Structure 1
Amino acid sequence: MSRLRPLTRIPWSQQPLLHANRRYATSEPSSSTASSSQQSFPPDWEDAPPSLSDFTELPHKDFGKNQLMETNEEFKRSLRGILRQFPPITYAFAYGSGVFPQSDATASRVTHSPHPNPPEAILKWQKGGGKMIDFVLASRHSEHFHSLNLREHRDHYSFLGSLGSGAVSRVQKLGAGVYFNPYVTVNGTMIKYAVVDMATLQRDLLDWDTMYLAGRLHKPVKILFEEPNIRVANQRNLLSAIRCSLLLLPETFTEKQLYSTITGLSYQGDPRMTYGSENPKKISNIVNHQLRNFRLLYHDLIMSLPNMSYVDEKAISNSSWMDDTKLDLKLKQDLSTERRANMVRRLPSAFREKVYFEYNCKWGIPGREYQEMLEASKDEDAEGGYKKPIGGAFDRRIAAEDDLPVMVTKALNRTVYWPAAVQSVKGILTAGPQRALQYLQEKRQKGKMTS
């Protein structure tokens, strides 16, 4: 097996400014540049886990800028101002309907705001400031983060805070490895924030062991602080979302079908969808109101894949097509066994093993033969290098099956259900019973109002 080539280094002069060991996500693409410039991806860039020391080691200077969603400058500064009230963090993003509207209700002016005294920029962006803002904060050492955060913001924590940062960190490790503090007021703004270890975040983006964080980043989010390894890992995460969705879709489909399938991946098996804690129209609402951002996020990646394309390529030659949300362009994919086998092989490793397991159960493969097959499908070779992921005999056998979408869906359910269920139960401890009940009631009420 050939070793993968190292990433090409590019000079510091071509890179955006780094500030105080935090890389601000400032270089946002405009719709004109994003729609007219297809990124070129170096061969093998996604085949080995990222191990970068800084942004100069990215495959090229614009690599991953599709992840940087546009907002106005004042709103972005307000969000960063909130994060500056916390101990140092390495990577952070804001997400949800408080950042990007998910329905006509959240996009229109509201009379009641949960924010006691928010910055004017948040009121303007939310057209009345009617939504709590959700954050994910990633730290290299979350126990240390909790230790510092407890000193400054003891009121953010439930009774668990009185047990110290060690107990908080141990609870965080349960489920998907995420610790939430909801209904917290910072800079006059009502927020909910999640704390996660960088290693947990990167692993989920690359392997899909829980999809709890990877699924949030399948959708448009506002990245506020950056880290180069996470940028690369998330680019792989987005490609994985496309590939997995293609295994669920027919030969031809529309943009909205693709983006709805991508959005729905991490909701498969989520107990909140089953038991009415989420709006049943949540997926279509997100896609319908964020079509332009989905295009900015995924278009270059779509163009980089050899097995899919737009049916009408002339439609995307117009530089303004991304802004036309009335369009719902058709796409097509190659359904050949070879192409689909390669997609199966390129699924994130933890998730791919679950797909393999479903077929092992179906075919009753002897244990020794199955273990040999798993060993042969590992990403690492015997010398410690990384193999080019090309579909093997088992992948081709899977790809030829008509029930592949069913098996992929089962693997999604198996991936998502348990971590999501544990996180929901854990919320009683991390938020405290009163705030956890309030959050559940508001989710149910919102689902009734918008369904």
Structure 2
Amino acid sequence: MASRHCLRSIGCYSGRRPLSTQSTETSAPSSAHSLPPDWEESPPSLSDFAELPKDFGKNQLIETNEDFKRSLRGIIRKFPAISYAFAYGSGVFPQSDASASRITHSPHPNPPEAILKWQKGGGKMIDFVFATKFSQHFHSLNLNRHRDHYSFLGALGSGVVSHVQDAYGAGAYFNPYITVDGTMIKYGVVNFTTLQRDLSDWDTLYFAGRLHKPVKILHEEPNIRVANQRNLLSAVRCALLLLPPTFTEKQLYTTIAGLSYKGDPRMDYGSENPKKIDNIVTHQIRNFRILYHDLITSLPNVTYLDQQCFSKPDWMDDTKLDVRMSQDMDIERRGNIVRRLPKSFREKLYFLYQRKFSIPGRDFQEMLDASKDEDAQGVLKKQVGGIFDRRIAAETDLPDMVAKAVHQTVKWPATVQSAKAILTAGPARSWRYLQEKRDKAKQK
């Protein structure tokens, strides 16, 4: 009950409120928009949205027009047993001013008018992620409805398909080049628990990284909304450890958007546009503000410097504006940031510094035990930086080590996920997808 009480005191996240120029964080909420300091440490188990405070996590609900949203929801209704779903990528939010004009052939056979209008007459395949409580159950139902969506693995049954999904890579199973309602889509399936764990702990950053960027959420679930709010706040903290004392708003969002691309083999081997990250941020700066602004102002160590722009009530709509920002480099505060990094990711950073400091295994294990999120009785502890966290925060190579930990988190799951596309999509479709990615990378 205590954890629910904490959540009920969390303020609004509409993304449209006036800016405060400096954030504060005390033992109790200082305003209607503040986060109680213990909400992350006591995540509840929710049965419905009524148990969340009003407007909590509404920053995640990026707007599109109603007709486009209805078309996307019409597509996901063709699939069974979905607990959470979102659409993402350049087919949903543009990544270039000129992208539509370059398209000479739409991939959509006969799309709804709303999709044609939203994509400005051109056409891009629309990417979806579906989370389901039981992977095998989803694939069993989906194979009965849509056997043609699957490669040869579908002939082996839902048990094999779900095993390939859950056991290898990042826990995703993608079917590309699928036509639904006259629209070309690619959809990935992930187990609900896998998604929730990646958002909270950053096991792979595969799904957490996709949700670091603006997406269109189409089917919601309250526990995922809470987990994703933690994920977004973790992205801000991680970016701060990578950035200098002063930086711009665009630099912050570019750092956040780039986290899940560090170590991604598609970036290393020319399968992604090298300017992709910059394009995402440049053309979605307003959506990034909606997604992150209230979270930024909830942190005690980040300040907006360009205070003259705060008098403009519509400043968030000014896409030419690049606000200057600063962060407090105090060792204690940065130690708290280290301590509040997601669990799996934080342990990778700890191991990197164990090797650097040559800490014996037994001593290091004692430190890990002392830094666990729970005490011996399983009660969650307050996440305050300890001696080891502050020692890490004092190191000048911290940005390099954080970047290395991100690379380690992303590389293997992303590599295996890309490799297993040969099985899940089939050789022909996976080769087509790779070639189209490379062609688009060369064009830009």
- The equivalent residue for 1:170 is 163
> In the alignment, which of 315, 320, 325 is matched to residue 314 of structure 2?
320
Contact 1:4 1:386 survives alignment (8 Å): no
Unaligned runs of 5+ in 2: 21-30
Q: Does residue 117 in structure 1 map to residue 115 in structure 2?
A: no
After superposition, the Cα gap between the structure-2 partners of 1:251 and 1:4, relative to the gap in structure 1 and judged at 3 Å, is farther
Aligned: 1:296 with 2:290: yes
Out of 5, 8, 13, the residue aligned to residue 7 of structure 1 is: 5
Render the CA deviation track for 1:402-425: whole Å, top value 9, x for unaligned: 000011011011100000000000
**Which residue number in structure 1 is paired with residue 96 of structure 2?**
103
Distance in structure 2 (CA, Å) of the matches to 1:43 and 1:247: 20
Shift of 1:32: 4.6
Q: Does 1:207 align with 2:201?
A: yes
Contact 2:173 2:190 in 1 (8 A): yes
C-alpha separation between the residues in 2 aligned to 1:90 and 1:365?
44
The 1:32/1:419 distance shift into structure 2, 3 A limit, reads closer
* 1:59-74 alignment runs, 5 A limit: 60-74=53-67
Q: Does the residue aligned with 2:5 lie in a helix, a strand or coil?
A: coil
**Per-residue deviation at 1:106?**
2.4
Residues 145 and 5 of structure 1: is their aligned pair in 2 closer, same or farther, counting only changes over 3 Å? Answer: closer
Distance 1:405 1:151, change over 3 A: same
Letter of the 2:5 partner, please give it.
L
- Which residue is 2:274 aligned to? 280
Q: Tell me the residue number matched to 1:140.
A: 133
Q: Could you tell me which of 208, 212, 217 is aligned with 2:211? A: 217
Which residue identity does 2:67 align to in structure 1? Answer: E
> What secondary structure does 2:128 align onto?
strand
Instruction: Rate the CA distance shift 1:275–1:9 in 2: closer, same or farther, 3 A.
Output: closer
Deviations 1:16-70 (A, max 9, x none): xxxxxxxxxxx995x7557699733233111133311111111x21110000001
Q: 2: CA distance between counterparts of 1:236 and 1:270?
A: 23
| Distance change >3 Å, CA 35–CA 432, structure 1 → 2 | farther
* Residue identity matched to 1:407: M
How far did 1:384 drift? 1.2
For the structure 1 residues 9 and 352, does the alpha-carbon distance in structure 2 shift closer, same or farther, using more than 3 Å as the test? Answer: closer
Query: Following the alignment from structure 1 to structure 2, what is the Cα–Cα distance between the partners of residues 44 and 370?
Result: 27
Instruction: Tell me if structure 2 keeps the 8 A contact 1:111–1:128.
Output: no
Match of 1:22 in 2: none
Encode CA deviations 1:351-376: one digit per residue, 9 max, x unaligned.
Answer: 00000010011111011000000001
Contact conserved, 2:100 with 2:121, CA < 8 A, in 1? no
1:192 aligns with 2:190: no
- Structure 1 340/198 Cα, relative in aligned 2: closer, same or farther at 3 Å? same
- What is the distance in 2 between the residues matched to 1:100 and 1:119? 17
When normalised by structure 1's length, the TM-score is 0.92
Cα distance in 2 for partners of 1:190, 1:204 equals 28
Alpha-carbon contact 1:28-1:69 (below 8 Å) kept: no
- CA distance 1:275–1:90, shift in 2 (3 Å): same
Distance in 2 between residues matched to 1:107 and 1:260, nearest whole Å? 23
1:350 and 2:348 matched: no
Q: Determine the C-alpha separation between the residues in 1 that align with 2:99 and 2:287.
A: 17
> Once structures 1 and 2 are overlaid, which stretch shifts more, 37-46 or 349-358?
37-46
- CA deviation string 1:287-323 (max 9, x = no partner): 0000000000000001100010101234234210000
Q: Quote the sequence identity (%).
A: 72
Over the residues paired in the alignment, what is the CA RMSD in angstroms? 1.9
Partner in structure 2 of residue 14 of structure 1? none
- Contact kept, 8 Å, 1:114 with 1:129, in 2: the verdict is no
Match of 1:364 among 343, 358, 364: 358
Deviates more, 1:327-336 or 1:98-107: 98-107
> How many pairs are equivalent?
431
Q: For residues 129 and 78 of structure 1, what CA distance do their matches in structure 2 show? A: 16
Q: Note the C-alpha offset of 1:108.
A: 4.4
